[in-house]
Every structure is written in C-alpha cells, then in structure tokens.
Amino acid sequence: MTTQSLPIYQIDAFTDVLFAGNPAAVVPLSDWLPDDVLQKIAMENNLSETAFFVPNAGDEADFHIRWFTPTVEVPLCGHATLASAFVIFNRLGFEGDLIKLQSQSGVLTARREGDAIVLNFPKQPIKGETVSEEVLEALGGVKPAETFGVVSRDTDIVIVYDDAAIVRNMRPDMSALGKLAGRGVIVTAPGDKTGLDMISRYFLPALGINEDPVTGYMHCVVGPYWAEKLGQVDIIGYQASARGGVVACKVDGDRVHLKGEAVQYLKGEITVPA
C-alpha cells in the first residue's frame, strides 16, 4: 500500500495552560482525502474532535474546514476551529489577523486579539421541547427549570437547572443516556462564582463522546439564552468538565463571538493511504 505523511498538531483550546481546556487534533491538508480516511484518522486520534482544512480557491474564504468526532462528521465545532486558527496563525505563517473559514455552517471567522482568538459563529436558536423522564433520570433525576431543543441542529437538547451545583456535581449514567437521548445533551445553570454568568456541561455518549470538555458550539446555544435571561450581551461561561474552561461570549444579533486562548501540546506526523 502506498502511503503519505501528514503533519498533525494537538492543541488545548479555550485555555492558556497545558492539560486544561479541550484538546483537538488539527491536520492541515493540501487537498481533501476520502471521507472514510478522514473519519478513520479521527477515530484513531480518539479525541472529541479532529479538524481538517484545505486552502480555499475562492475569494470568500481562506480555507475550507471540516470536523470529525471518532464516529461522525459534525456541522460546527468551536474548540477545534480555535485550535485550527491557532495553528494557521502561529505555525503556518499566515499573514494578517483575520482568517475566513468556509464550513457546513457558512463562513466563519477567527480574529487574532493579543494572545487570544475571537471566533465569529452563528447563533444556535432553541425552542421549547419536552424531555423524557427516562433521560432526566439518567442525568440524576433532578427536576429542571426548563427544557429546549436546538432548532438548527436537531441532535441536541438543552436542560436548564436553577442551581449550578446540580450541573457541577452531575454524574450521568452515560450508557443509559446514549441509548435514551440518541443526541447531545446540554445542561446549564446560572453562574455560582464572581465573574461567571453561567455554568454548563455537554454530554454526547450517542456520538462517541461521554463528555466534551469545553465546547465553542455549545456556547452559541447557551450564551444567547443567558444573555436574554440576564439582559446583557456579554456572557462569561464556565464549562464544568474535569478539565474545565472559560469561554467569553458576546451576542451580536444572529452571531456569537467566542473568545479564548490555546496552547500547543504536540506536533507530529501521521501516515495514511496515499
């Protein structure tokens, strides 16, 4: 079998220190590989997301980006986009402070701002939706304040609690949750510490990820919810996973600006079919 070598980076996103935030693999490409190879690379990496991007020939964007979990391709991912922008800015010699990325979710941008990167993502609207008692039991059985579904991505439900301690201390039955929900489950509550407006977590056992450590996309769901609830456009969110991470959100109409830092953990080389 003929093979080729490709560069790979592992970046901790939404953190300024190693071993925190959310790790993503980033694989720059000159041309797209077959979809099944992209999926196998993501499965082999076994991180919540692997991002791939190729130079874009048109004027609308600088690169075309795609994201894969170990089991599926997803239409939008924040932390792997932040990781990709970090690589493009700091490792690939990109000139300028603004990157335009074509994706399944339209054109996204990543802007350099000091040591941080600001992503411009589409707001993810929600609508009221009933969640089964079985799913709530798998989450611990606490009665929620509200429940929603994500309108633009019919694979996620949102469960709002009144107390951040419920979210922080939650120990879901992942096996049951993956079978019952069949989709991602976002849990969120008001912030419980000075400087935090909200606390959230994101469980995706049905997609091969028990818990995503720090999620940009999720903050495009819960950020606008809490912005409306609190009557402010700037929201500081903490994702209370074991690794943990802070995401600064600014709601701007139908867009959400997500600000965070990233650090490189690994640079290497992978071997794939040519």
- Do 205 and 176 meet the contact criterion of CB atoms below 8 Å apart? no
- Active site residue: 44, 49, 113, 134, which one? 49
Which residue is associated with the tokens 């990781």? Answer: 83
Could you identify the residue written with the tokens 């490409």? 29
- Which residues are CB-neighbours of 67 under 8 A, at least 6 positions away? 49, 50, 51, 52, 73, 74, 76, 77, 80, 81
- Measured CA to CA, the distance from residue 259 to residue 237 in angstroms comes to 11
* Whether residue 134 lies in the annotated active site: no
The owner of tokens 């609207």 is 125
Nearest to 207 by CA among 243, 173, 182: 182
Q: Which amino acid is at 214?
A: V
Catalytic positions, please?
Answer: 49
